Chains A and B, each alone.
Chain A
């Protein structure tokens, strides 16, 4: 496989030519016979043109592809830029791609990391008494922002932290708190772990979700104390059960913020919040006395707990590993995680430093082509944006559950699983059905699917996908193949 030359982004033939062998086939992808014919047919010259003549070795039969990896185009700058955008944005328009290509890889990385996150518009129902609005409204509010934000990387990081510092709306039982948490996670996403952990600890949704709001020094609740070490910072095996108990004492005292007013709904008096607030520390509920926590004894407040956690060697590689699994590869090597962790710790846990190290590492830029599975939300938003849908929010919010991802409703305190866990007989059907529904929403003339093959999929297609694409008779069928393809599920 010699010159893995790049994807040409120059305009190409809008109507891909087809193999003459199947010139008489029925239209579209809607005939079983056509598909059988497509599968049976070898790759015609049209596919080679479609792929820019150089991308994927596709002269072999379709079966041969099953034992190979994707042919990585990452030695080309333009492919690296697209690889970066797939993993750091909510999908990209042709214009955004042009900008990134003209800026080049390094400048694009800097822009992604350094640009201050755009705030979403205020959520209208936030002051509903008791936060009792439909969670789907909040999901759609977030999805709308993902689709239009000028700073999509902030949304990728917000989802990342939402799956890491997990809370769900069911137990939180006040959707206003979930809204606030989303705002907080976005604002803190690229700061430093020390200040983040303070914001996480006194976040009202988190105070509810992991029960710190009801913990007292006299009778501590261990839930938050355990998960802040096991799932948020250090990982199991790096602390003792005594640390869990002693940490619970030290962290006790936080309570929910008092409401601004009360409102009556259905005869019940419910809290009303008109502005965002954090938890309130009540010293009378705190533990008075000394604790022995992570190897040191003395009186300890919440900041002290955070600082003890940051002093542990396990913390930096734990976060680095999670970031690497999310952004680089399903199973990062120990050496890679150690390297990233060292960088992270030396920077005083600065997220910009960590993410810069990730996106400029050879593991990211050269070795991880299509090594990750898009999460359902990424897949759906990417597809919507690529298709140019104007208001897919309701569809995206509803369709996530069958694929295993509903925003504000992660499966458990460990957040969402990733990569291979996104693939099951149920989820693949739901992904395909989403494509069908999204195409039904796409009215009028569709963007060029051939363009999408180049600009979204680097022109790197499997034999099956290129065959089917090339044989399809019209653009809707081609779009279906692009978006339902395994290629589009990967990043």
Chain B
């Protein structure tokens, strides 16, 4: 005898939560991730939302794997660095691009350095959270949800979408560019967002007829995945319509290239993803929150070349992106921010690499930024009990400044608390 699950559409959200989100198994493996949001929203939430007062845009760049902060912002004058990293320190110090007497940027961040010289780069040092975990996946979830206690399941940007924007009917308000599945930061069962891996391939082979067939096929689909499927198709279809317009009116004004030298090849096409982000921004699609990823930062091994190459890749893609936005007169609206689940161990290992660490600097780039260094300089001699850098700025302070200061969103509501200010914005709107 089969029991039908007699729930109406609004209750399905609760059902999904109960069945898919909170009912995790004994080990806690992957527990706590919300279902892909792209799913749900349109089927479930018809309510209009208000909350954000401006049309500013945020682009988060995830440096996945744990970016080495000490090779990104190099403490060039600190002799302790050479004790900790006898093999790695020499070249990174001698080649660094000095910002002041104490710090220099990785030598491959020359484009970022020229933006720094124009006052468009803020670097927040020593960003982390209490009692850091050294697990990639636990720490990624903490950064994605904005919750070190690991109770929150929705992503901080997903919650922002859900509470502060009307994404219903506007699936491009939030977009993961260059990905196949939604990053945890953007996930929220109440938010709609689009995932586009490669714009050139984003369309139905067979065109509008197939699109219509699939649209008819994916309506009212039963089962726990039904709304996920239906919304994914509806979102894709709406986005395709938008992209048909935007693609024809967008002309890139910078040289984006993913042909870069790397020790081993990258899974992500960062430049193409940022070019798609630029297209969505400059053609007025209404996109507000974008997320792109560059992987490969888990440099346990031969870090010297690998990390330098990744810095170069990041630099060229971000430089092209900024240049393109500026040429389209959109740079004033767009804040670019990097994040990574942790930094790396100050002491190098036997493999010419570094193991998982804790606090690290974040880069904030763009016209909205008040250039300079923020946060306390982390001490290389006062490491914590695990041999890692102590944090001085809670990562949620950075989120708060982005949410309230840049997007004009209700940060305390989204993050569940208020945090110390870190004032890296030129003209914060609502902190």
Contact = CB atoms under 8 A, between A and B. Distances in A.
Interface stretch (B207-215, B246-254, B329-337, B407-415): B207-215
A419 B205 CA distance: 25
Given A321-B29, A333-B25, A404 B217 contact: no
A465 B217 contact: yes
A62 B64 CA distance: 43
Given A65-B220, A426-B197, A433-B205, A221 B235 contact: no
Contacts of A486: 217-218, 221, 223, 225-226, 229
A4 B204 contact: no
Interface residues of B, number: 92
Given A68-B5, A427-B181, A436 B225 contact: no
A32 B211 CA distance: 9
**Interface of chain A, helix or strand or loop or mixed?**
helix
A433 B204 contact: yes
Contacts of B76: none
Given A32-B209, A39-B219, A69 B4 contact: yes
A462 B36 contact: no
A338 B218 contact: no
Interface stretch (B6-14, B77-85, B159-167, B279-287): B6-14
A270 interface: no
B73 interface: no
Contacts of B214: 432, 484
A303 to B, nearest CB: 23
Contact of A70 (B28, B171, B222, B301): B222
B221 A423 contact: no
B227 to A, nearest CB: 8
A29 interface: yes
A481 B217 contact: yes
Given A62-B219, A480-B213, A426 B236 contact: yes
A425 B236 contact: yes
**Interface of chain B, helix or strand or loop or mixed?**
loop
B430 interface: no
Interface string B123-166: 00000000001111110000000000000000000000000000
Contact of A417 (B30, B226, B352, B353): B30
B151 to A, nearest CB: 15
A337 B35 CA distance: 21
B236 A72 contact: no
A321 to B, nearest CB: 4
A211 interface: yes
A387 B19 CA distance: 34
Nearest to A334: B26
Contact of B301 (A69, A211, A321): A211
A395 to B, nearest CB: 12
A463 B217 CA distance: 9
Interface string A191-230: 0000000000000000000110011101111110010001
A32 B215 CA distance: 10
B204 A321 contact: no
Interface stretch (A86-94, A181-189, A352-360, A407-415): A407-415
Given A171-B264, A490-B223, 20 more contacts: A30-B213, A35-B215, A66-B220, A75-B1, A210-B300, A211-B351, A211-B353, A219-B349, A221-B351, A236-B138, A322-B27, A322-B29, A414-B30, A424-B195, A424-B232, A426-B179, A427-B195, A428-B218, A486-B221, A486-B226
6 closest A-B pairs by beta carbon, nearest first, are: A219-B350, A66-B220, A214-B351, A404-B180, A321-B25, A424-B195
Interface of B: 1-2, 4-9, 12, 19-21, 23-30, 35-36, 38-39, 43, 64-65, 133-138, 171, 179-182, 194-198, 201-206, 208-210, 212-230, 232-233, 235-236, 239, 264-267, 295, 298, 300-301, 349-353, 355-356, 386
Interface of A: 1, 4, 29-32, 35-36, 38-39, 62-72, 75, 170-171, 173, 210-211, 214-216, 218-223, 226, 230-231, 234-237, 241, 244, 314, 317-318, 320-322, 324-325, 330-334, 336-338, 341, 370-371, 373, 401-404, 409, 411-414, 417, 419-430, 432-433, 436-437, 462-465, 468, 480-481, 484-486, 489-490
15 contacts: A222-B355, A317-B27, A331-B20, A402-B180, A404-B180, A417-B30, A423-B38, A424-B181, A426-B195, A432-B205, A462-B222, A481-B213, A484-B214, A486-B223, A486-B229
